[in-house]
Amino acid sequence: MFIAGEWVESEAGRTFESLNPADRRDVVGRFQAGTAADAAMAIRAAEMALPRWKATPAPKRGEILYRFGQLMADNKERLARAMTREMGKVLAEARGDVQEGIDIAFLMAGEGRRMFGETVPSELPDKWAMSVRQPIGVAGIVTPWNFPMAIPCWKMMPALVTGNVVVFKPASDTPHCATLVVELMAEAGFPAGVVNMVTGSGAEVGNAIVDSPDVNVISFTGHSSTGKSIAERAARRLKRVSLELGGKNAVVVLKDADLDLATDGILWSAFGTTGQRCTACSRVIVEEAVVEPLLEKLESRAKKLRLGSGLLDTTDVGPLINPAAVEKVGSYIDIGRKEGELVLGGAAATDGDLAYGNFFAPTIFAGIKPMDRVAQEEIFGPVLSVIPVADYQAAMTALNQTRYGLSSSIFTRDVNMAFRAMRDFETGIVYVNAGTTGAETHLPFGGWKETGNGHREAGHAALDSFTEWKSIYVDFSGRLQRAQIDNQEQL
């Protein structure tokens, strides 16, 4: 663990192992199983570092972020390989994950010299009115394993450039990735105590951070049920919480679409990262006229996807994160068989050496109805449901008929239909003629409905999660001037 600028062991002396999901015989490392007492020490260290950090000029804070981004870039290949080994995603995607961390570091480094507030005219003469952003204090950052470097960076970079200090609890499946990121943060020059990391379980470390009266803001990405529990706990202290939770993202394919392009987009969004993205496509809503040809293309292309270690060039689809994930995805197969027709896959893949890893075959169900369970519940694996509908209206209704609202997409050549989709789809991100994944770091990232609680990551919007607004009025008239009362004569 990293507390007050030192690498330390947990007070309880317990550890846990991180395993390679492509080959569980490969132990990536042993990590400290932190406790509430460790979290308290990290929070204390952060509090001690806060006054100096928030007094450091923001452009100077930004320079450290810039150095961190450069260090990530210099170490990109090493970081990506370590990520593939610990988390499983194929190397090209791991490089993308590191790149997303670099992108947000550079974007937020620039915020050190922007961080715009507003300057507006006062309604009274000789009076100045403006608003500025100020840090909230100690930020608790609780992150998932599926983007084990990008998401911690998405959260920590805006928190730090705006002058907050951080207590970071990474997912227990990817502590090594987190450690590598924090090592580079230390090397970049964040002062001791500004960034602290405590590894360990959500029940012990996560809850201690969420419940602490000395942690002022929480940013969490992960499972909806955990997010709801965090929101409830934090509400007792009216603590600011920003949540990025589940998704049930759909691609709509209209009958005029380029079906080859749609197939590319759907396969990449559904089976890339083995379906383990919040933005992954798990529903294809398709006009009846083109169901048959689209299904044929999806099936024949998905059949050719090669499973294996993400470190091999020959691999298209890596493993699931852990055996529990294989079990969970597997539990949806019987459900899907009852609801529709299993077209492809449907089982864990255990041929040869795959048996040592957590592999699941890319799976496609056809003939699914919008309200079926496989079309409603987040499976977080390589399972795609194809839902036939009569027309755009039915597609739009089906797309919106879910409790989530992260990402959506439409394939069409008709510009009028594209604009309808942009207007009608109830999601935080909409793609036209592209899959549901691949958000860039300079626009807001987040979802409607139960995908979140109204906050956004990335872009300028991320600053809102980590700052308080302060509105400032300076009266230089030398007399009492009453707003809304004086100076009210009709023009």
Q: Are strands 281-287 and 249-253 parallel, antiparallel or unpaired?
A: parallel
**Cβ closer to ligand UN1: 145 or 392?**
145
279 binds ligand UN1 (CB under 6 A): yes
Q: Where are the beta strands (DSSP E) in 190-314?
A: 195-197, 217-221, 240-244, 249-253, 281-287
**Whole-angstrom Cα distance, residue 480 to residue 149?**
54
Catalytic residue among 153, 177, 278, 281: 278
**Whole-angstrom Cα distance, residue 434 to residue 281?**
11
**Cβ closer to ligand UN1: 100 or 378?**
100
147 binds ligand UN1 (CB under 6 A): yes
Tokens 């194809």: give the residue. 386
Part of the chain binding ligand UN1 (CB under 6 A), chosen from 271-279, 410-418, 419-427, 480-488: 271-279
437 binds ligand UN1 (CB under 6 A): yes
**Whole-angstrom Cα distance, residue 11 to residue 8?**
9
- 146 SS3 class: coil
Tokens 């079926």: give the residue. 372
Q: How far is the CB of 452 from ligand UN1 (least distance, A)?
A: 11
Q: How far is the CB of 307 from ligand UN1 (least distance, A)?
A: 21
207 binds ligand UN1 (CB under 6 A): no
What six digits make up the tokens of 478? 């030398």
Catalytic residue among 111, 244, 450, 457: 244
408 binds ligand UN1 (CB under 6 A): no
35 binds ligand UN1 (CB under 6 A): no
Q: How far is the CB of 20 from ligand UN1 (least distance, A)?
A: 21
278 binds ligand UN1 (CB under 6 A): yes
Q: Is 153 a catalytic site residue?
A: no
Closest of 274, 260, 285, 282 to residue 315, by C-alpha: 274
For residue 333, what are the CA distances in angstroms to 93, 227, 338, 340, 357? 27, 26, 9, 10, 19
Find out whether 214 and 204 touch, Cβ atoms under 8 Å: no
Closest of 139, 192, 197 to residue 163, by C-alpha: 139
172 binds ligand UN1 (CB under 6 A): no
146 binds ligand UN1 (CB under 6 A): yes
- 451 SS3 class: coil
Q: Which of residues 208-247 bind ligand UN1 (CB under 6 A)?
A: 221
Q: How far is the CB of 394 from ligand UN1 (least distance, A)?
A: 27
**Cβ closer to ligand UN1: 196 or 437?**
437
Q: Which residue from 83, 188, 439, 462 is in contact with ligand UN1, where contact means CB under 6 A?
A: 439
Q: How far is the CB of 242 from ligand UN1 (least distance, A)?
A: 13
Find out whether 351 and 389 touch, Cβ atoms under 8 Å: no
Part of the chain binding ligand UN1 (CB under 6 A), chosen from 186-194, 274-282, 417-425, 464-472: 274-282
Binding mask 100-119 for ligand UN1 (x = CB under 6 A): x-------------------
What six digits make up the tokens of 49? 């570092």
**Whole-angstrom Cα distance, residue 202 to residue 209?**
9
**Cβ closer to ligand UN1: 171 or 291?**
171
438 binds ligand UN1 (CB under 6 A): yes
Q: Is 278 a catalytic site residue?
A: yes
Find out whether 280 and 268 touch, Cβ atoms under 8 Å: no
Q: How far is the CB of 279 from ligand UN1 (least distance, A)?
A: 4
90 binds ligand UN1 (CB under 6 A): no
Q: How far is the CB of 154 from ligand UN1 (least distance, A)?
A: 8
Give ∠ CA 333-334-338 in degrees, rounded to 5.
115
What six digits make up the tokens of 456? 């956004």
Q: How far is the CB of 78 from ligand UN1 (least distance, A)?
A: 21
Q: Which residue from 44, 239, 277, 456 is in contact with ligand UN1, where contact means CB under 6 A?
A: 277
Q: Which helix (H) or strand (E) holds 313?
A: none
**Count of residues engaged in binding ligand UN1, rule: CB under 6 A:** 10
Find out whether 269 and 251 touch, Cβ atoms under 8 Å: yes
Catalog residues that contact ligand UN1 under the rule CB under 6 A: 100, 146-147, 221, 277-279, 437-439
What residues are annotated to the active site?
Answer: 244, 278
